[in-house]
Structure 1
Amino acid sequence: MSMEIERKFLVNKELWQPPDDGVVYQQGYIYTQNGSTVRVRIAGNLGFLTLKGQTKGITRPEFEYPIPLVDAQEMLQIMCDRPLIEKKRYKIKIRELIWEIDEFFGDNQGLLLAEVELTSENQTISLPPWIDKEVTEDLRYYNSNLVKNPYNNGQWTTHPEQNNP
């Protein structure tokens, strides 16, 4: 079984500089009732189907499989909840870690998140200077929840990153 151990952070937009053109992502979720998620993703011109189990701490089981692009496109159109997640992802290697920075568009325009996958929950990391605030335990920032409650739908009374000193 594959396990994902991940921390999430808000990115300071004034300090962040994209290192390249990034890769455009489009992804959607197929509704489940038990806390697991089924994600369909297109990253550039590649399709993926991902199943994620319930999160315990910052760890959860994850299984990801490449699928034909045309299948991913069709699944996104006919099977996934709306709105779809639209974002551009940048990857930066800092020491031994790969940081993934997501710049969101569409209903989540203005959100800039960084994720880093770890080898253990207690792994210590050095934060890059463009990291603002950790949001690992704030479920609103899970992509599957950004479909149900988008960043710009008016239900976020304030955006937490606007409250940072």
Structure 2
Amino acid sequence: MGVEIERKFLVDHDKWEKVSKPEGTHYRQGYIVADSGRTVRIRVSERKAFLNLKSKSGSSHMSRSEYEYEIPLDEGLEILEKFTTNGTEKIRYNIHFAGKLWEVDVFSGDNAGLIVAEIELESEDEQFERPEWVTIEVTDDGRYTNAALSKHPFKDW
């Protein structure tokens, strides 16, 4: 079983604009299951598709069981179109800072205006340095999960 330990933060838009960043990857993702504590989703980029399953692991909002499998792109697109009802769209940037990888999602569509940074950790109490563009932690705020954003988008807050 895979375990994901992740913390989420909001991003300061003005500081983010000044960050030197690599080319981002455009993702569309849709949910087959998205209820409290578990999700099954399809994520598709221009070149790849993934089936991803997550479930809550204990009482922590940081740790979840996670399984992810690359699937053929044409099948991912078909599943996205035929089996999902809610989804999100974003550009993801991978930023290395102080020895850690930060995944920064710049949302579009109904979630335009929202930028979220995630960092995966080895343990829940692992110490790390925050970039200056990282602001408020939202790990414990369920509204910021991609599954929640697919049902209750940022534009409606």
TM-score grouping bracket, smaller chain normalisation? over 0.9
Alpha carbons of structure 1 residues 33 and 103: separation in structure 2 relative to 1, 3 Å: closer
Quick one: which amino acid aligns to residue 94 of structure 1?
F
1:71 counterpart SS class: helix
Does 2:77 correspond to 1:73?
yes
Aligned CA RMSD, in angstroms, stands at 1.3
What TM-score comes out, normalization by structure 1 length? 0.88
Q: Which runs of 5+ in 2 are unaligned?
A: none
1:26 counterpart SS class: strand
Deviates more, 1:54-63 or 1:5-14: 54-63
Does 2:125 correspond to 1:122?
yes
The sequence identity of aligned pairs, in percent, is 44
| More strand by percentage | 2
Number of residue pairs matched? 153
What does residue range 2-151 of structure 1 map to in structure 2 within 5 Å?
Answer: 2-16=2-16, 17=19, 19-33=21-35, 35-56=37-58, 57=60, 58-82=62-86, 84-151=87-154
2:14 counterpart SS class: coil
Quick one: which amino acid aligns to residue 7 of structure 1?
R
* Alpha-carbon distance between aligned partners in 1 of 2:2 and 2:136, rounded to the nearest angstrom: 28
Deviates more, 1:84-93 or 1:33-42: 33-42
Moved over 4 A (4+): none
Alpha carbons of structure 1 residues 18 and 108: separation in structure 2 relative to 1, 3 Å: farther
Kept in 2: contact 1:23–1:43 (CA 8 A): yes
Alpha carbons of structure 1 residues 14 and 32: separation in structure 2 relative to 1, 3 Å: closer
Kept in 2: contact 1:97–1:116 (CA 8 A): yes
Kindly state the Cα deviation for residue 73 of structure 1 after the two structures are TM-superposed.
0.4
Kept in 2: contact 1:18–1:90 (CA 8 A): no
* Alpha-carbon distance between aligned partners in 1 of 2:49 and 2:136, rounded to the nearest angstrom: 31
Kept in 2: contact 1:31–1:81 (CA 8 A): no
What TM-score comes out, normalization by structure 2 length? 0.93
2:75 counterpart SS class: helix
* Alpha-carbon distance between aligned partners in 1 of 2:15 and 2:36, rounded to the nearest angstrom: 39
Kindly state the Cα deviation for residue 43 of structure 1 after the two structures are TM-superposed.
2.6
* Alpha-carbon distance between aligned partners in 2 of 1:11 and 1:126, rounded to the nearest angstrom: 15
